[in-house]
Amino acid sequence: MAGLAAAYELATSGAEVIVLEGSDRLGGKLRLGEVGGLTLDLGAESILARRPEALDLIHAIGLDDHVVNPQTSAASIWTRGALRTMPPTVMGIPADVAALAESGIAEVDAHVVAVTDEDISVAEFVTARLGHEVLDRLVEPLLGGVYAGHADQLSLRATAPQIAALGPDLLAGATSARAAATDSGPVFAGLVGGVGQLPAVVAATPGIEVRVDATVRSVVRTTDEWRLSVGPTTDVETLEVDAVVIAAPAPAAARLLAEVAPEAAFALAAIDYASVAIVTYVFEGQSFDEPRAFAGSGFLVPPVDNTFIKAATVSSNKWGWVGDLGRTVIRASVGRAGEATLLQHDDADIAERALADLRAAFGGLPEPVDSLVQRWGGGLPQYDVGHIDRVETIDRSIASVPGLEVCGAAYRGVGIPAVIASGRAAARRLLDAGTIKP
């Protein structure tokens, strides 16, 4: 999506753009697929609405009438043997101690500790101020839902600056932040028909040529342009272009940049990735014996509870357009950083184990009409401690090479608005530098 956003910015500014996609489809982690006769999102299904970039692009391409907000945002934590209502938090930091106590999720061990500018892990920062239970049962599952990472490795400054901003007394800071918050509208948005339709609509912008199954094998800087080697080794095509935006994941970007920007390549090679899977289930009807299970949008699971799944979403509750399809749709998320062996099971085993967890959490479910396992190998970059410094190194290295930019989830955010912002900003830098010849 970052690459398509860059292509859109360039094409609408008058440039001729070729999008070279190594796989057989566009869209990265945005994907539609059929499960039980329904067309559903198999990747990301939510857009952060409090950042403008994604909704701005959706408006620009004419999809405004597809934008919807969740019907419910009520979520639970599945822990200590029960689904427990999630109390108000700021990225897992309790903003209502009474509600936390009533939930039975965790106990607080509060201390006031000064905040420094040092980049430390989220775990180190939180446990020093609130103890292990808040970290393990609130912060960890929230971070796992976004990054599929672990709080003892993830950078506080890169992944949870909202927590750092609460100050030395986290409880007081979170309570104040909640009291000061104004109603700025829904936190999330989606698209009727699925967020996965966004890539194709962007790619249809006049001036954008798309080639799939077009692996880029090398990127070489000549005197005043760029030479790309594209395609299979038995039939390599050479393209000569004015500028290049590399929107590949960090490992692939590192390989392509090894000769032209070695310092950036070295920093990119240090970014790890987590592999995850989304299991989508479709059940007949919308009325089960256990109504408690379907009162909200879903639940998160703390890693300390040692379950197979890390989260579940009742999509037919969350999104009105999914509910209108007449069936119950539940998505289960599997996989965290360092747990690649989990995904070595075959699809049937993953679906069976995830369903067993769903049944344990919800108190029973019927047999699904259909299910589908969508694997996202190396899907989520890990913003470990030191990530901000790595990105600054990459920026300096790339800036020294005329006509070259990078963008994507590996840099300053993994959500849809963040990667769209990354792509459009990369394109704008090329346009402002005058390296593109419309």
pLDDT at 291: 45
pLDDT at 392: 98
Q: Which residues pair with 19 in a beta bridge?
A: 210
Q: Are 310 and 145 in contact (CB under 8 A)?
A: yes
Nearest CA to 256 among 49, 398, 151, 153? 398
The pTM score is 0.95
Residue type, 330: I
Residue range 113-172, pLDDT digits in tens: 999 999 999 999 999 999 999 999 999 999 998 999 999 999 999 999 999 999 999 999
The topology (CATH level 3) of 273-381 is Polyamine Oxidase; Chain A, domain 2 (3.90.660)
Residue range 44-59, pLDDT digits in tens: 999 999 899 999 999 9
Residue-wise burial string across 409-431, b where 16 or more C-beta atoms lie within 10 A, e elsewhere:
bbbbbbbbbbbbbbbbbbbebbb
Q: What is the C-alpha end-to-end distance of the chain, expressed in Å? A: 23
Q: Are 185 and 67 in contact (CB under 8 A)?
A: no
| 2-31+200-271+385-433: in CATH 3.50.50.60 | yes
pLDDT at 294: 61
pLDDT at 286: 67
Triad 183, 161, 179: Cα angle to 5°: 30
Residue range 288-302, pLDDT digits in tens: 555 445 678 999 999
**Out of 111-120, 340-349, 359-368, 387-396, least confident range:** 340-349
- Inter-CA distances, 322 with 39, 41, 181, 289, 328, Å: 9, 10, 30, 21, 8
Domain boundaries, the chain: 2-31+200-271+385-433, 86-180, 273-381
Question: Distance between CA 169 and CA 429 in Å, rounded?
Answer: 40
User: Per the structure block, which two tokens stand in for 403?
Assistant: 């006509």
Give mean pLDDT, residues 382-408: 97
pLDDT at 287: 59
Question: Distance between CA 355 and CA 372 in Å, rounded?
Answer: 12
Residue range 292-340, pLDDT digits in tens: 456 789 999 999 999 999 999 999 999 999 999 999 999 999 998 888 7
**Out of 74-83, 337-346, 425-434, least confident range:** 337-346
The topology (CATH level 3) of 86-180 is protoporphyrinogen ix oxidase, domain 3 (1.10.3110)
